[in-house]
């Protein structure tokens, strides 16, 4: 439809019809088994159902085709309904959870993964995904850290941008793609105490320099939609925050797409004490520029009245509705409301999608310990023990459209590479301690104790038979994600008991950790010969993990987030500001900024990860010691594979601005490159340093760089390497 026709359509619509384009209702209004991803409050009446512009939580080619047909027939202007879904790390083929994808340090791979997800979801009739989540996460207590790509703004920016491009492709009309929604704007990851939905307090420079960066970069890729967050930012709910939505998102970032609230967030402004009642909430959300109200009922109940009374202008309403109609138009829905779906076929897992998922899993695994050559596994007797050893539940709670039956378990993967006589499996224990509270309720089973005693006895026998035990432990998928904040980052006690008992058998222990968040792993690392972080790996988990365990692929993942010694260090991140009394690396530490009972830094820091081979970094070099606003310099280093097997190195560049009108972090990631090297092979890796990379939110409230001294590191993780010095000068 051309612009004129779209405007004519808008002009012809009644106020009620217009308002309803801004209303989103849950898919459960259309289908009983829809996925409910928020708190359900009452049912929509028939009118709302007939006119609401979009819905969420349902998929399936035939199903959505039927709904669309019925809906359009009844709609006065036959405007198509828009179907949205949380396709977060896979639709049918499930990739590693976003935190795992962050560990791959592979934006190109993330783009391919997003394109694959778009293809599958679009085949199932979905038009829009609520992804990527670009929230900066520095707090492992927050369960939604699993949905992020980690603690670093630069990595998150690249990953979110790549995902937007992968989902959307070059043209939204292309029926193999879907619209992306960057969320949750803004600073949801900074919720106080890591408690979900909690408020955030952030200075403007922290907000701008750290928390807003990834959203801003992702918005440059023109996502069709942005979602507001549940939290307040400095006392004002994001959903009613004109500074965030108008000044930053629309004016500064230049976002022209549709702004949707999170589920119920418009109405929740009443709970926040920011709106007097739901009508006031609708007014405040409209004033802040929220186009679609997701499931709070505030717009459907009060917006028409607000427009009629003049509290919300017709112009404001028209602008919002026009954005929604344009999005439908961009998706090609007016020409083909079914976007070419084959209703009989629908989405399936294919050999190709499995291959991509398998490679992504292998790239995402992070090897934290490998003593006594424990890995790769040898051709001997290997026992796979633990609640994650043979479970198909390898995906997060946000991958609900993927089917468990397609998942390859670790033991199934092992069975494909080893003779049946050489491997055994034992559950070892239940996944959870009795009465654990999860995001999906309290876990309780009858005779939990007897069952665990029996499982333990069996597991010890299996371990005694083996040469190596591959212990598959971790958090249940219901312990991370939305509404899954925790104050304890240890493995369940029943799993730790299993580890201690297996240790007593004296067998070699390779521990695999399945998790959506950083955990406290000191004890586990000390008791294990090898420690491998597997995240929530998805459909091809068993294959990708076995590729690494057998040495077919050398591990190459890097931590996208710091793993603490103890939960007491949270929030924890590497890009901190120095205090006036930094804790020295050696010598007396009294009266310095430190904990009495713990290191300041992470047990396993950001950027860290081992390989089966070794890499030697040569002396890094700078093309010049001075750069100007016009002239760049180049930092380079030679990296050699000094081990016996091929492997991928992730060369990281960090920069520090040594002094500024406002203090600057001790290190910030400014570039990285993944390179593949054969044994003995060497490659020179170079990074161009440009003035724009040195900008920050100055004391004058400007996004600028300041002349002066800088340090740069080319290294293997956020804590190693030697600094080189250069100066930025005005030319
Ligand atoms: C609530 C979540 O915060 C958000 O991430 C999700 O996209 C929506 N519900 C829709 O399910």
CATH of the domain at 361: 3.40.50.1700
- Residue 723 maps to a domain: yes
Domain residues for 673?
A: 615-729
CA of 40 to the centre of ligand 1 (A): 13
Index of the ligand 1 atom closest to the CA of residue 183 = 5
Do 439 and 366 share a structural domain? Answer: yes
Q: Whose CA is nearest to atom 3 of ligand 1?
A: 262
Q: Whose CA is nearest to atom 1 of ligand 1?
A: 263
Q: What is the pLDDT of residue 306?
A: 98
Q: At what angle do helices 314-330 and 298-308 cross, to 10 degrees?
A: 130
**Which parts of 331-400 fold into alpha helices (H)?**
351-364
Q: Whose CA is nearest to atom 7 of ligand 1?
A: 130
Preceding amide of 186 cis, omega within 30: yes
CA of 224 to the centre of ligand 1 (A): 16
Q: Is the CB of 262 under 6 A from ligand 1?
A: yes
Nearest alpha-carbon partner for 598 in 635, 617, 561, 572: 572
CA of 184 to the centre of ligand 1 (A): 9
Do 532 and 498 share a structural domain? Answer: yes
CA of 183 to the centre of ligand 1 (A): 9
Query: In the chain, what is the greatest distance between 2 CA atoms, to the nearest angstrom?
Result: 79
- Residue 105 maps to a domain: no
Q: How far apart are CA 429 and CA 457, in angstroms?
A: 10
Q: Is the CB of 139 under 6 A from ligand 1?
A: no
Preceding amide of 345 cis, omega within 30: no
Scanning the structure block, which residue is given the tokens 């999906």? 440
- Residue 103 maps to a domain: no
Instruction: Write the secondary structure of 80-126 as one string of H (helix), E (strand) and C (coil).
Output: CCEEEECCCCECCCECCCHHHHHHCCCHHHHHHHHHHHHHHHHHCCC
Do 557 and 453 share a structural domain? Answer: yes
The residues, ordered by sequence, that sit 6+ positions from 309 with a Cβ below 8 Å of its Cβ are none
State the 10-residue block means of pLDDT for the chain, 731 residues long.
97 98 96 86 89 98 97 97 98 98 98 98 98 98 98 98 98 97 98 98 97 98 98 98 98 98 98 98 98 98 98 98 98 97 93 98 98 95 98 97 97 98 98 97 97 98 98 98 98 98 98 98 98 98 98 98 98 98 94 97 98 97 97 98 98 98 98 98 98 98 98 97 97 80
Q: What angle do CA 523, 612, 464 make, to 5 degrees?
A: 50
Q: What is the pLDDT of residue 614?
A: 97
Q: Whose CA is nearest to atom 11 of ligand 1?
A: 37
Preceding amide of 95 cis, omega within 30: no
CA of 171 to the centre of ligand 1 (A): 25
Q: Check the CA dihedral 286-292-297-299 and report its sign.
A: positive
Distance of CA 394 to the CA centre of its chain: 16
Do 555 and 489 share a structural domain? Answer: yes
Q: What is the pLDDT of residue 518?
A: 98
DSSP 14-55: -HHHHHHHTEEEEGGGT-TTPPP-S---S---HHHHHH-SEE
Say what the pTM is. Answer: 0.98
Q: How far apart are CA 309 and CA 582, in angstroms?
A: 59
- Contact status, residue 175 vs residue 122, Cβ threshold 8 Å: yes
- Residues annotated as catalytic are 262
Look up residue 286 and give its DSSP letter. H
Look up residue 353 and give its DSSP letter. H
CA of 229 to the centre of ligand 1 (A): 9
Q: How far apart are CA 246 and CA 244, in angstroms?
A: 6
Q: How far apart are CA 132 and CA 101, in angstroms?
A: 12
Do 451 and 326 share a structural domain? Answer: no
Do 382 and 326 share a structural domain? Answer: no
Scanning the structure block, which residue is given the tokens 């669309």? 68
Q: Check the CA dihedral 45-50-51-56 and report its sign.
A: positive
- Domain's final residue, options 525, 542, 565: 565
The CA distances from residue 300 to 9, 17, 77, in Å, are 21, 10, 18
Q: How many CB atoms lie within 10 A of CB 70?
A: 13
Q: Is the CB of 86 under 6 A from ligand 1?
A: yes
Q: How far apart are CA 248 and CA 238, in angstroms?
A: 12
Structure tokens belonging to residue 689: 């340093």
Q: What is the pLDDT of residue 33?
A: 86
Do 491 and 620 share a structural domain? Answer: no
Q: Is the CB of 54 under 6 A from ligand 1?
A: no
CA of 258 to the centre of ligand 1 (A): 16
The residues, ordered by sequence, that sit 6+ positions from 91 with a Cβ below 8 Å of its Cβ are 59, 85, 117, 120, 121, 124, 126, 347, 401, 402
Determine how β-strand 23-26 pairs with β-strand 293-294.
parallel
Q: Is the CB of 482 under 6 A from ligand 1?
A: yes
- Domain's final residue, options 533, 548, 565: 565
- Residue 478 maps to a domain: yes
- Residue 237 maps to a domain: no
Preceding amide of 210 cis, omega within 30: no
Q: Is the CB of 196 under 6 A from ligand 1?
A: no
- Domain's final residue, options 303, 337, 371: 337
Q: For residue range 426-445, list pLDDT tens digits in order.
A: 999 999 999 999 999 999 99
DSSP 142-193: SGGGGGS--S-HHHHHHHHHHHHHHHH-S-TTSTT--EEEEEEETTGGG-GG
CA of 130 to the centre of ligand 1 (A): 7
Q: Is the CB of 263 under 6 A from ligand 1?
A: yes
Q: How far apart are CA 125 and CA 347, in angstroms?
A: 9
- Using most ligand atoms within 8 A of CB, pick from 239, 262, 294, 483 the residue to mutate for ligand 1: 262
Q: What is the pLDDT of residue 51?
A: 97
Preceding amide of 691 cis, omega within 30: no
- Residue 429 maps to a domain: yes
Do 559 and 708 share a structural domain? Answer: no
Q: For residue range 578-613, list pLDDT tens digits in order.
A: 999 999 989 999 999 999 999 999 999 999 999 999
- Using most ligand atoms within 8 A of CB, pick from 37, 231, 396 the residue to mutate for ligand 1: 37
Q: Is the CB of 105 under 6 A from ligand 1?
A: no
- Residue 574 maps to a domain: no
Judging by beta carbons within 10 Å of its beta carbon (0-12, 13-18, 19+), is residue 50 exposed, middle or buried?
A: middle
Domain count, the chain: 3
Residue 689: beta bridge partners? 633
Do 474 and 385 share a structural domain? Answer: yes
- Using most ligand atoms within 8 A of CB, pick from 482, 483, 484, 485 the residue to mutate for ligand 1: 482
CATH of the domain at 333: 3.20.20.300
Give kind and range of the element (H or E) at residue 455. helix 448-465
Q: How far apart are CA 717 and CA 610, in angstroms?
A: 10
Residue 32: beta bridge partners? none
Distance of CA 311 to the CA centre of its chain: 39
- Using most ligand atoms within 8 A of CB, pick from 263, 266, 400, 484 the residue to mutate for ligand 1: 263
Q: Is the CB of 147 under 6 A from ligand 1?
A: no
Do 487 and 539 share a structural domain? Answer: yes
CA of 134 to the centre of ligand 1 (A): 13
Do 657 and 509 share a structural domain? Answer: no
- Residue 218 maps to a domain: no
Q: What is the pLDDT of residue 41?
A: 75
Index of the ligand 1 atom closest to the CA of residue 229 = 3
Do 523 and 376 share a structural domain? Answer: yes
């Amino acid at each position: 439809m051309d612009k004129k026709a779209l405007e004519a359509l808008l002009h012809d619509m009644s106020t009620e019809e217009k308002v309803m384009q801004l209303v989103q209702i849950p898919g459960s209004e259309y289908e009983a088994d829809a996925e409910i991803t928020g708190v359900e409050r009452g049912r929509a009446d028939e009118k709302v159902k007939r006119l609401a512009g979009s819905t969420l939580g349902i998929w399936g080619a035939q199903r959505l085709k039927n709904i669309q047909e019925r809906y359009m027939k009844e709609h006065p202007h036959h405007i198509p309904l828009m179907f949205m879904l949380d396709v977060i790390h896979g639709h049918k083929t499930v990739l590693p959870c976003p935190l795992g994808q962050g560990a791959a340090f592979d934006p190109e791979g993330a783009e391919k993964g997003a394109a694959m997800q778009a293809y599958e979801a679009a085949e199932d009739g979905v038009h829009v995904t609520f992804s990527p989540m670009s929230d900066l996460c520095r707090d492992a207590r927050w369960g939604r850290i699993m949905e992020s790509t980690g603690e670093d703004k630069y990595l998150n920016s690249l990953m979110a941008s790549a995902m937007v491009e992968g989902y959307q492709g070059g043209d939204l009309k292309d029926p193999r793609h879907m619209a992306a929604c960057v969320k949750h704007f803004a600073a949801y990851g900074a919720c106080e105490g890591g408690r979900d939905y909690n408020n955030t307090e952030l200075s403007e420079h922290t907000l701008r320099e750290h928390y807003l960066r990834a959203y801003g970069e992702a918005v440059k890729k023109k996502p069709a939609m942005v979602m507001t967050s549940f939290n307040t930012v400095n006392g004002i709910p994001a959903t009613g925050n004109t500074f965030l939505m108008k000044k930053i998102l629309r004016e500064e970032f230049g976002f022209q797409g549709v702004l949707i609230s999170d589920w119920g967030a418009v109405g929740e402004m009443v709970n926040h004490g920011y709106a007097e009642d739901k009508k006031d909430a609708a007014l405040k959300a409209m004033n802040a520029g929220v186009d679609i109200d997701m499931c709070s009922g505030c717009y459907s109940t009060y917006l028409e009245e607000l427009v009629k009374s003049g509290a919300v202008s017709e112009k404001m309403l028209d602008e919002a509705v026009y954005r929604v109609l344009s999005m439908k138009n961009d998706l090609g829905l007016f020409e083909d409301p079914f976007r070419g779906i084959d209703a009989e076929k629908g989405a399936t897992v294919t050999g190709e999608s499995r291959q991509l998922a398998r490679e992504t899993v292998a790239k995402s695994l992070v090897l934290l310990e490998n003593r006594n050559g424990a890995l790769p596994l040898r051709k001997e007797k290997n026992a796979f023990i633990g609640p994650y050893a043979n479970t198909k539940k390898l995906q997060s709670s946000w991958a609900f459209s993927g089917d468990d039956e397609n998942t390859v378990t670790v033991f199934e993967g092992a069975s494909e590479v080893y003779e049946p006589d050489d491997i055994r499996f034992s559950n070892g224990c239940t996944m959870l301690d009795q009465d654990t509270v999860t995001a999906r309720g309290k876990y309780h089973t009858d005779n939990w104790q007897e069952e665990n005693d029996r499982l333990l006895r069996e597991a010890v026998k299996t371990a005694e038979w083996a040469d190596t035990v591959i212990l598959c432990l971790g958090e249940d998928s219901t312990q991370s994600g939305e509404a899954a904040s925790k104050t304890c980052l240890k493995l369940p006690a029943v799993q730790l008991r299993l580890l201690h008992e297996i240790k007593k058998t004296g067998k070699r222990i390779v521990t695999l950790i399945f998790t959506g968040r950083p955990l406290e792993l000191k004890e586990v690392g000390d008791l294990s010969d090898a420690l491998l972080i597997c995240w929530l790996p998805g459909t091809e988990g068993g294959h990708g993990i076995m590729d690494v365990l057998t040495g077919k692929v050398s591990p190459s993942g890097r931590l996208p987030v710091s793993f603490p010694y103890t939960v007491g260090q949270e929030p924890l991140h590497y890009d901190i500001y120095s205090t006036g009394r930094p804790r020295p690396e050696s010598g007396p530490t009294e009266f310095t900024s430190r904990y009495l009972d713990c290191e300041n830094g992470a047990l396993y820091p950001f950027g860290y990860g081992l390989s089966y081979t070794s890499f030697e970094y040569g002396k890094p070099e700078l093309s010049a010691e001075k750069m100007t606003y016009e002239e760049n310099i180049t930092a380079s280093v030679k990296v050699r594979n000094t081990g016996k097997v091929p492997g991928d190195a992730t060369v990281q560049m960090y920069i520090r601005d040594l002094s500024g009108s406002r203090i600057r972090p001790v290190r910030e990631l400014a570039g990285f490159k993944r390179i593949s090297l054969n044994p003995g092979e060497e490659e020179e890796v170079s990074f161009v340093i440009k003035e724009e990379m040195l900008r920050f939110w100055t004391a004058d409230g400007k996004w600028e760089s300041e002349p002066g001294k800088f340090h740069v590191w080319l290294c293997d993780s956020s804590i190693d390497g030697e600094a080189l010095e250069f100066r930025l000068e005005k030319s």
